[in-house]
């Protein structure tokens, strides 16, 4: 019954139908970075807090994992996901109040947001490693 009348109904066009633009890229990037952080970012956050609560030995295990090449890749990935998600999220706040839908501005901020995400990630690691 729930599917009655739904056979052969027209489907809305999907990703492969539309001509690609930066607004589509930044929209998907927002979802990927958000869900990526929900899994990896919160996982590492809990491991960090759990290791701190567990004591020096547990923290040493955490630190030794996180200072391997794969550990650094995960940490850089999480920080990049955060700064990218933050910039595309700020773009969503602007869109939420009904601004920024003009074609040129929409395109401009769709490109600027992920670029600033990469710049902020680089700045964060530079400040962290050079202190």
Partner 1 sequence: MGNGTSIGRVRGLGSAKSGPHHWILQRMTAIGNLLLVLWLVVSLILLPDLSYGTVVGWLSRPVPALAMTLLVISTFWHARLGMQVMLEDYVHEHGNKFACIAALNLVAFAGAAFGVFCVVRLALGAHA
> Could you tell me the smallest distance in angstroms from the CB atom of residue 49 to partner 1?
4
The CA distance from 99 to 101, in Å, is: 6
Give the x-and-dash track for 69-98 against partner 1 (CB under 8 A): -------------x---x--xx--x--x--
The CA distance from 20 to 22, in Å, is: 7
Residue 127 binding partner 1, by CB under 8 A: yes
Among residues 73, 75, 81, 77, the alpha carbon closest in space to that of 31 is found at: 81
> Could you tell me the smallest distance in angstroms from the CB atom of residue 121 to partner 1?
11
| Total site size for partner 1, rule CB under 8 A | 33
The CA distance from 107 to 113, in Å, is: 10
Name the one range near partner 1 by CB under 8 A: 11-19, 21-29, 41-49, 100-108.
41-49
Q: Residue 114 in contact with residue 87, Cβ under 8 Å?
A: yes
Distances (CA, A) of 122 to 45, 72, 84, 116: 20, 13, 12, 10
Residue ranges in contact with partner 1 by CB under 8 A: 1, 4-6, 9, 31, 34-35, 37-38, 41-42, 45-46, 49-50, 52-53, 55-56, 59-60, 63, 82, 86, 89-90, 93, 96, 124, 127-128, 131
């Amino acid at each position: 019954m729930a599917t009655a009348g739904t056979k052969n109904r027209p489907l809305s066009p999907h990703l492969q139908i539309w001509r690609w633009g930066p607004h589509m890229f930044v929209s998907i990037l927002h979802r990927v970075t958000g869900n990526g952080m929900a899994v990896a970012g919160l996982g590492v956050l809990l491991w960090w807090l759990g290791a701190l609560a567990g004591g020096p030995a547990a923290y040493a295990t955490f630190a030794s994992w996180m200072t391997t090449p794969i550990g650094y890749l995960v940490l850089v990935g999480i920080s990049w996901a955060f700064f990218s998600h933050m910039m595309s999220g700020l773009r969503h706040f602007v869109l939420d109040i009904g601004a920024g839908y003009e074609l040129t501005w929409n395109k401009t901020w769709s490109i600027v947001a992920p670029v600033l995400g990469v710049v902020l990630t680089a700045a964060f690691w530079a400040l962290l490693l050079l202190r």
